[in-house]
Structure 1
Amino acid sequence: MDRLRTWLAALVLALPPLAIAGSWAMLAPRLPPTVATHWSSTDVADGFSSTVPTALTLLAVTTAILLVGLALAVVRIAAGTRATVLSLLAAVSGVLAAAWIVSAVTTAEAGSAEGARLEWWWLLIAGAAALMLVPWFVHPRDEPASLRPAEPIPLTPTDAASWRGEASATVFLWLGIAMAVGAVALMLVLPIADSAAIGIAAGVILLAAAGFLVALSRIRVQVDGEGMRVRSALFGIPLRTVPSEHIRVVEAMQIAPLEWGGWGYRGTPGRLAIVLRAGPGIVVTTRDGSRFAVTVDDAQTGASTLAAIVERQREQEAPARRSLPGGEPSR
């Protein structure tokens, strides 16, 4: 069953070249020698390419992407890595196919490349990137690594156990700074070109993204009687809290970014991770089966401390559960 799902995830990459070939075949009688490939802000075509070379190039590229995807289905690599790469390839191939379809359809409807109007067709190009979701959800996942849960440290009922660790990624800091500079430049330049609203909106979005990157460049993980909390060490912004009463298993393991969706704050159904680099991290599995991972220095000590806190809480809850109606009488 897993092999079938792997091949289905790879074969999703056949859809873009088929879409290009099919649309080309249907529209060929109506297509002029050139097609519109770029539009100005006033919805007027201002970029053109030869029809046949453009179609052949995009068909060749998307077919090459398909072959890469089929090769990935054969080779032995981590399931998470394969799913991530297939998803990225699907996004690229989908956007390329959508770009051809938009160029071909708008040109054919107008009767000439110069008369082509983009109108709402840009939504198709933007939405084509969503093709990446198909391989991601179709592809099977590796079973969780058969690692032993973290060994709890000895704790008495009155011990105030706590631990704190940090992790940093300088590349996030520099990317955030570069994005902030770009955002400011965008807000200054676009208003000069009579696009003030667009410039300000794009700048604000970029500044928000830049701030998040800077906040994520250094994180602090706090473990105590309440559970595990992850905050930005620079701004103190809370990023994730896992209460101790929700935790079922605590593990210390080596985190491979691609197996968790990449670097940064990553989320997929049932899995959430804050990954700043490959290396040691703490992974907790909650009572509802979801998993959360965070890369942090000295992860083994942090995991052992959290495991001890969770175990002590279970021991303290056990007498109360036995005294409830239907439970064993307390002794």
Structure 2
Amino acid sequence: MMRKVLALAVICLPVLAVGLVLLTADLPDPLPSHWNARGKADRTMGLTAFTVLNLAVTAGATAAAFGFARVESARWSITACAFAAYLMGSLAVLTAFVAGGFGDRAGTDLPWLGLLIALVVAFAGPALVRLLWPVPVRSDDAEPDADLPRLDLAPGERAVYVTEIRSRGFAALAISCAVIGLILVLAVDAFIGICVLAVTVAGAVLQRATLRVDANGLRVVFGPGVRINIPLAEIRQAGVEQINPMQWGGWGYRVTPGKRGLILRSGPGLVLDLTNNTRFAITLDTPEPPAALLNTLLTPH
């Protein structure tokens, strides 16, 4: 428990540093936000927009880390949150330091040594968090479930399962981000608005998917031709579980050590135990039929 507390305390440092520097320092408006290959500032951002963006990212990453902290096997996700917070935080502090100048002399040239230090901090912080976070105890010797769902198919009978999966949450996210992004582009800051609009694309891609189960295995299609194919030969068994997004790395298409999945919400889902000792999950309203079909195809009578 103490190691988790220390790790979470380390994750909080970037948002505290960003808040302290950006809210208390006497900084110019606007601030440099981009440098060319020669280290010369070629783009600026308003101080308010810069502060809101950096505080939002570092605070969001910190909040996500605290959310993942309740999950036993969230070491990878905790480290990813720490990296996002430390990378954004270190670059924000470096920018404030450059814009504030050295002593009474303000400057905009990018100090390469400062950039190197910021990158070292961005990687060292998450490395310390990963070192502190307890390694989950995994058991790869679990016996197959005795009561797996199955279909009663006649000899020679074939079956195919096809369904469309829709996510109201991702659809609402896409619409909301589109509206907010346009407002930000027109009224606040184009860069922040474009960043928010980028989330619209992710929401639109993930708001609908198609699942097909047949003698070839499992296939999921979503977005502009994105396909997930799992051959039947790579599946050991299929089951039904209650999906907690935090245990799979969050919402969306998630890949974490030992498991991956298309997680569109919490609730029931189809979970495959694969022959390479990894797991795949997809959230479904009625996961029993595809699970039963896969188990029947795996062990036909």
TM-score tier by shorter-chain length is 0.5 to 0.7
TM-score by length of 1: 0.60
Q: CA deviation at 1:210?
A: 3.7
Q: CA deviation at 1:155?
A: 3.8
Q: 2:145 aligns with which of 148, 151, 158?
A: 148
Tell me which protein shows more helix as a share of its residues. Answer: 1
Residues 19 and 236 of structure 1: CA distance in aligned 2, closer, same or farther (over 3 Å): closer
The answer to whether residue 86 in structure 2 is matched with residue 88 in structure 1 is no
Q: CA deviation at 1:134?
A: 6.3
The answer to whether residue 214 in structure 2 is matched with residue 224 in structure 1 is yes
What amino acid is aligned across from residue 88 of structure 1 in structure 2? C
What amino acid is aligned across from residue 160 of structure 2 in structure 1? S
The answer to whether residue 248 in structure 2 is matched with residue 260 in structure 1 is yes
Question: Matches of residues 74-153 of structure 1 in structure 2 within 5 Å?
Answer: 77-80=70-73, 84=77, 87-88=80-81, 91-92=84-85, 95-104=88-97, 107=100, 110-112=102-104, 114-118=106-110, 131-132=125-126, 135=129, 139-141=134-136, 143=138, 148=145, 150-153=148-151
What amino acid is aligned across from residue 32 of structure 2 in structure 1? W
Q: CA deviation at 1:148?
A: 3.0
The aligned counterpart of 1:249 is 237
Residues 142 and 301 of structure 1: CA distance in aligned 2, closer, same or farther (over 3 Å): farther
Question: Matches of residues 284-299 of structure 1 in structure 2 within 5 Å?
Answer: 284-299=272-287
- Percent same amino acid among aligned pairs? 27
Q: CA deviation at 1:302?
A: 1.5
In 2, the alpha carbon distance for the partners of 1:175 and 1:48 equals 27
Q: CA deviation at 1:117?
A: 2.9
| 1:79 counterpart SS class | coil
The answer to whether residue 264 in structure 2 is matched with residue 272 in structure 1 is no
In 1, the alpha carbon distance for the partners of 2:169 and 2:215 equals 33
The aligned counterpart of 1:319 is none
Residues 276 and 94 of structure 1: CA distance in aligned 2, closer, same or farther (over 3 Å): same
Out of 92-101 and 223-232, give the one that drifted further.
Answer: 92-101
Q: CA deviation at 1:220?
A: 2.1
TM-score by length of 2: 0.65
| 1:140 counterpart SS class | coil
Give the aligned CA root-mean-square deviation in angstroms: 5.0
| 2:237 counterpart SS class | strand
Question: Matches of residues 168-183 of structure 1 in structure 2 within 5 Å?
Answer: 168-179=166-177
| 1:167 counterpart SS class | strand
Q: 1:166 aligns with which of 164, 167, 172?
A: 164
In 1, the alpha carbon distance for the partners of 2:205 and 2:268 equals 21
8 Å contact from structure 1 (residues 9, 139) kept in 2: no
Count of residues in Structure 1 that have an aligned counterpart in Structure 2: 271
What amino acid is aligned across from residue 296 of structure 1 in structure 2? L
| 2:92 counterpart SS class | helix
What amino acid is aligned across from residue 212 of structure 2 in structure 1? Q
Q: CA deviation at 1:115?
A: 2.4
In 2, the alpha carbon distance for the partners of 1:123 and 1:174 equals 40
